[in-house]
């Protein structure tokens, strides 16, 4: 901390620009666990479905996008 | 089995317990660096997400808080890097101690803008040292660099800020 004494001018100006965080502000304004759970659930879903299923889904979506008439054919087979 | 050991082995209940225990500390630490409550909340969740993903690599003998703080600091610095303002500053500014509140507010905004133009790593180190008055030990721990590197960052930050504040006519 020896160098800090030389920085007093900068420190004083910064303190005018940025008030210190008070202990009361250190609490998140909402419960963050639900957001955490959503992330975990999305991850679990990605883990559950194997990559080739996603690839198949992508290929199907691409086919339907490029050949919209195949939607009817696809629906007929469902 | 110890909570940290259970967490490292992938126990979700242990993870939730650690989340509840350290959420406030991680949020408070991030808030000190980014100074934006909404961003701090998002970054807190992201920090715990990274912790969750890296749980298999966690050593249960090591302090969890320090590990979490380091991950949080890296994320906060990434956030500062994205947010860094490119705005040009006016040449002159009224003294921040002036009695006019509008002038004071303007001065505060100018100081903040000048500060936000620092590289993200310097911003983080300078915020923790000058505004939050954390020790170099604590800062070096959180940044994952040596104390010498922290001193160097402080030196560079001060040199840039002093030049900027002089240009703006700001005095302590």
How large is the average pLDDT for residues A18-42?
88
What CATH number does the domain containing B36 carry?
1.10.1740.10
Query: What DSSP line would sit under B46-103, residue for residue?
Result: HHHHHHHHTGGG--TTS-HHHHHHHHHHHHHHHHHHHH---PPPPS----TT-S-HHH
Q: Do B51 and B106 share a domain, yes or no?
A: no
Domain count, chain A: 1
Full residue range of the structural domain in which residue A32 is found: 2-77
Give the pLDDT confidence of B46-75 residue by residue, as tens digits: 999 999 999 988 998 999 999 999 999 999
Q: In a 3-state reduction of DSSP, which class is residue B117?
A: coil
Q: Over 90: is that where the pLDDT of B16 sits?
A: yes
Distance CA B16, CA B62 (A): 19
Q: Are A10 and B115 an interchain contact pair (Cβ–Cβ within 8 Å)?
A: no
pLDDT at B1: 64
pLDDT at A46: 75
In sign, the C-alpha dihedral spanning B34, B37, B39, B40 is positive
Please name the residue of chain A whose CA is at the shortest distance from the CA of residue B39.
A28
Domain count, chain B: 2
What percent of chain B shows pLDDT beyond 90?
A: 63
Q: Give the B window 127-156 contacts with A, CB below 8 Å.
A: 127, 129-133, 135-136, 151, 154-155
Q: Over 70: is that where the pLDDT of B101 sits?
A: no
Token pair in block for residue B15: 């993870």
pLDDT at B172: 65
Minimum distance, in Å, between the CA of residue B110 and any CA atom of chain A: 8
Residue B38 lies in a domain: yes
Q: Are A39 and B41 an interchain contact pair (Cβ–Cβ within 8 Å)?
A: no
Q: Give the A window 35-74 contacts with B, CB below 8 Å.
A: 35-36, 39-40
What CATH number does the domain containing B146 carry?
1.10.10.10
How large is the average pLDDT for residues A29-54?
86
- Label residues B85-119 b or e (16+ Cβ within 10 Å = b): eeeeeeeebbebeeeeeeebebbeebbebbbbbbb
Full residue range of the structural domain in which residue B64 is found: 3-83
Q: Do B8 and B69 share a domain, yes or no?
A: yes
Q: Do B27 and B69 share a domain, yes or no?
A: yes
């Amino acid at each position: 901390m020896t160098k800090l004494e030389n920085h007093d001018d900068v420190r004083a100006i910064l303190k005018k620009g940025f008030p210190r965080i008070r202990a009361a502000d250190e609490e998140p304004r909402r419960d963050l666990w639900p957001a955490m759970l959503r992330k975990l659930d999305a991850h679990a879903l990605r883990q559950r479905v194997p990559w080739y299923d996603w690839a198949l889904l992508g290929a199907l979506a691409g086919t339907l996008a490029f050949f919209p008439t195949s939607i009817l054919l696809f629906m007929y087979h469902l | 089995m110890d909570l940290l050991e259970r967490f490292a082995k992938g126990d979700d209940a242990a993870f939730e317990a650690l989340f509840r225990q350290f959420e406030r500390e991680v949020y408070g630490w991030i808030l000190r660096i980014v100074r934006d409550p909404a961003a701090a909340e998002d970054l807190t969740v992201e920090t715990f997400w990274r912790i969750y993903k890296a749980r298999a690599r966690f050593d249960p003998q090591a302090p969890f808080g320090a590990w979490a703080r380091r991950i949080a600091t890296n994320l906060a610095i990434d956030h500062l890097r994205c947010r860094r303002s490119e705005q040009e500053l006016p040449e002159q500014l009224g003294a921040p101690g002036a009695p006019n509140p509008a002038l004071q507010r303007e001065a505060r905004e100018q100081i903040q803008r000048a500060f936000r133009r620092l590289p993200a790593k310097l911003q983080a180190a300078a915020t923790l040292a000058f505004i939050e008055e954390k020790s170099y030990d604590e800062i070096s721990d959180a940044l994952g660099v040596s104390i010498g590197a922290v001193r160097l960052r402080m030196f560079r930050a001060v040199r840039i800020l002093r030049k900027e504040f002089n240009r703006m006519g700001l005095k302590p």
